[in-house]
Amino acid sequence: MENILIKFIKQKKKCQHKNALLHSNSGYCPDCGKFLVKNYYIVRCACCDIKREAKLSWGEIVPVEKFCSNCGSKEFYIEKLDSVSLVDAQYAIYLKEIADELKYLHPEAQIWVEEDEEKIRQIPLKN
Ligand SMILES: [Zn+2]
Ligand SMILES: [Zn+2]
């Protein structure tokens, strides 16, 4: 019984692709078999647009410092880079993402809008 439970949990756990893309920018993960691409992102201040140092926290890209050192703003946005220049290299963070599940290209806001539309349709016409 215990063994089955452990197996179930392991299957549910998302693959971190630790052994994938060690020497390339795209390819298959040896652990889960998904086709992965390396994508580079930088974090910019939403207020003054300056590049901010970024880190990965629980799989999310966040700025290292809480507030922008240039303008003091807390807001930031994430920009996807097509290629990394030497200037960007010190700020860029890369994620190994499954080719058809690029999460930063599909903002969650889009999903929320669809859910709202669904709710509107479900409202009965009769009062
Ligand atoms: Zn994997
Ligand atoms: Zn700023």
Residue 46 Cα to ligand 2 midpoint, Å, equals 7
Ligand index nearest the alpha carbon of residue 34: 1
Residue 71 Cα to ligand 1 midpoint, Å, equals 39
The secondary structure of residue 32, as a DSSP letter, is T
Ligand index nearest the alpha carbon of residue 32: 1
The tens place of each residue's pLDDT in the chain, 127 residues long, gives 556 666 655 555 788 899 999 999 999 999 999 999 999 999 999 999 999 999 998 878 999 999 999 999 999 999 998 878 877 888 999 899 998 766 665 444 344 444 444 444 555 555 5
Give the integer Cα–Cα distance in Å for 96 and 84.
Answer: 15
pTM (whole model) above 0.85: no
Give the integer Cα–Cα distance in Å for 21 and 30.
Answer: 9
Residue 55 Cα to ligand 1 midpoint, Å, equals 21
Ligand index nearest the alpha carbon of residue 69: 2
Ligand index nearest the alpha carbon of residue 17: 1
Residue 108 Cα to ligand 1 midpoint, Å, equals 23
Residue 32 Cα to ligand 1 midpoint, Å, equals 4
Give the integer Cα–Cα distance in Å for 58 and 65.
Answer: 16
Residue spans of alpha helices (H) in the chain: 2-12, 86-89, 108-122
Give the integer Cα–Cα distance in Å for 52 and 29.
Answer: 30
Contacts of 54 (CB under 8 A, 6+ apart): 41, 42, 43, 61, 62, 63, 64, 91, 92, 93
Residue 102 Cα to ligand 1 midpoint, Å, equals 14
Ligand index nearest the alpha carbon of residue 67: 2
